[in-house]
């Protein structure tokens, strides 16, 4: 099932994530990535209009749908001289649409989120959750855990959080918290240490080479399945200004891309994007934050699908 076979202008066709085909849970197969919108924004006290996040992410991702269009034969990351093997991606990315949350109580929302995520995982696919505020994360994690995202093994689910506040009372596998938005409490630090994970601020990540970060991540995660929770607050506000929570620090795109590509090689069971408020900063930065997070997440998705191939740069050797 090809992603796109016609050279449509990018404003045409159905608005799905990266112009992927629309899919149903029952048709998912192992190895697929299933985009799922959860347009809610009343689950935290951070305010904002993150319910428009899934729409904004899909709109922006349409730009990258050209990676699979017939008028772009070989999408190339010119900065890193890598090409995308489109055939590897084709048929493995689908969009399930948005979860209908309007009129639900918070408890009903959590239940619905948990069940849909569990259903996706039950088919052997990886849910790509398009939030929504960061309050959806706990329900997503519950869905993953409930569906046996650990593949029936003994390893509990590990969590790599990017941005966000440190989760209180984490009881899963290793918790690796990168670029937290606030100084964590002593209890939170103890929780991270007891889980076998670690916490790293942006300054620490910058000092480490990607390989060193990867070594630490791989060492902490072991063979456990991982959920990656990306929140807009992990990016430095200098580059966008569209996050639900104002970060005191954050990574640039190139720093985040390097990190996320490394994370993409881990056994990812689920992925969530939260905290994008496309209305909060007004027109002056419309799209910049959306493009930022989408550009970053492509590295993770393509790495997860093992679809990137290096191309030697002979021009500036």
Partner 1 sequence: MLDSTQDLKLRFDSPTSTFFGARPGHLDQVEPGMLAFIGMPSDSTHSSRIGARFGPRALRHETRRLMEALRSDGDGGLFDARLGHLLGLRPQEEIIDLGDAAIDPLDVGRTTRAIADLTAGIAKRGALPVAIGGDHYNGYPACLGVAEALAQQAPDARFGYIQVDGHLDFADRLGAWGRFNHATNARRVSELPNVVRGNMVWIGIAGWVDGKDVAEIEGFGGLIFSAEDVHRLGPREVARRALSHALRGCDRVYLSLDIDALDSGFLPGTGSIVHSEITPRQYLDLLTGLSAAPLCGIDLVEVAPPLDPSGRSERIAARLLMEILREHVFQRLEA
Three-state DSSP class for residue 225: coil
Q: How far is the CB of 87 from partner 1 (least distance, A)?
A: 14
Q: Which of 26, 45, 284, 317 binds partner 1 (CB under 8 A)?
A: 284
Taking CA atoms, 26 is separated from 14, 37, 123, 244, 269, in Å, by 20, 17, 7, 34, 18
Count, residues near partner 1 per rule CB under 8 A:
42
By the rule CB under 8 A, 279 interacts with partner 1: no
Among 17, 52, 64, 68, binds partner 1 (CB under 8 A): 64
With contacts defined by CB under 8 A, name the span among 23-31, 156-164, 179-187, 248-256 that binds partner 1: 248-256
- Footprint of partner 1 on 33-52 (CB under 8 A): none
Q: Which residues contact 223 (CB under 8 A, 6 or more apart)?
A: 153, 155, 267
Distance CA 85, CA 315 (A): 22
254 belongs to the binding site for partner 1 (CB under 8 A): yes
CA 13 vs. chain centroid, Å, equals 24
Question: Does residue 77 bind partner 1 (CB under 8 A)?
Answer: yes
Nearer residue to partner 1 within complex by CB, 15 or 286: 286
Q: Which is nearer to partner 1, 43 or 245 (CB)?
A: 245
Does residue 10 belong to the site contacting partner 1 (CB under 8 A)? yes
To partner 1, the closest distance from the beta carbon of 145 in angstroms equals 34
Among 148, 31, 20, 41, smallest CA distance to 96 is for: 20
DSSP per residue, 261-296? HHHTTS-EEEEEEE-B-SSTT-GGGTTHHHHHHHHH
Q: How many CB atoms lie within 10 A of CB 52?
A: 18
Give 82-110 as a DSSP string: EEE-HHHHTTSEEEEEE---TT--HHHHH
Quick one: which of 46, 50, 67 has its CA closest to 4?
67
Does position 209 interact with partner 1 (CB under 8 A)? The reply is no
Query: Is residue 15 within the footprint of partner 1 (CB under 8 A)?
Result: no
- Find the shortest distance in angstroms from Cβ 174 to partner 1: 30
Is 170 in a helix, a strand, or coil?
A: coil
The one segment of 40-48, 74-82, 186-194, 199-207 that binds partner 1 by CB under 8 A? 74-82
73 counts as binding partner 1 under rule CB under 8 A: yes
Residues near partner 1 (CB under 8 A) are 7-12, 64, 67, 71-80, 83-84, 238-241, 252-254, 282-288, 291-292, 295, 298, 311, 314-316
């Amino acid at each position: 099932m090809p992603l796109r076979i016609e050279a449509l202008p990018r404003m045409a066709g159905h608005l799905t994530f990266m112009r992927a085909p629309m899919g149903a849970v029952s048709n998912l197969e192992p190895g697929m990535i299933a985009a799922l919108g959860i347009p809610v924004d009343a689950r935290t006290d951070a305010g904002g209009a993150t319910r428009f996040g899934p729409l904004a992410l899909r709109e922006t991702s349409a730009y990258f749908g050209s990676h699979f269009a017939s008028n772009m034969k070989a999408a190339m990351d010119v900065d890193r001289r890598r090409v995308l093997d489109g055939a590897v991606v084709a048929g493995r990315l689908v969009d399930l649409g948005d979860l209908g949350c309007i009129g639900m109580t918070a408890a009903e929302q959590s239940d619905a989120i948990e069940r849909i995520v569990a259903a996706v995982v039950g088919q052997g696919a990886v849910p790509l959750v398009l939030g929504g505020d960061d309050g959806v994360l706990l329900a997503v994690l519950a869905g993953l855990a409930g569906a046996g995202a650990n593949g029936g093994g003994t390893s509990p689910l590990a969590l790599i959080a990017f941005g966000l506040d440190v989760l209180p009372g984490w009881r899963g596998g290793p918790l690796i918290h990168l670029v937290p938005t606030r100084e964590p409490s002593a209890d939170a630090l103890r929780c991270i240490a007891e889980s076998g994970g670690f916490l790293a601020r942006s300054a620490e990540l910058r000092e480490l080479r990607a390989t060193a970060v990867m070594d630490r991540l791989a060492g902490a995660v072991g063979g456990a399945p991982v959920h990656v929770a990306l929140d807009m607050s992990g990016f430095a506000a200098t580059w966008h200004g569209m996050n639900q929570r104002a970060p005191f620090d954050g990574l640039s795109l190139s720093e985040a891309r390097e990190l996320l590509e490394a994370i993409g090689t881990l056994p990812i069971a689920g992925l969530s994007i939260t905290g994008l408020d496309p209305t909060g900063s007004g027109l002056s930065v419309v799209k910049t934050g959306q493009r930022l997070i989408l550009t970053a997440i492509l590295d993770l998705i393509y790495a997860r699908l093992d679809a990137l191939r290096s191309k030697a740069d002979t021009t500036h050797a």
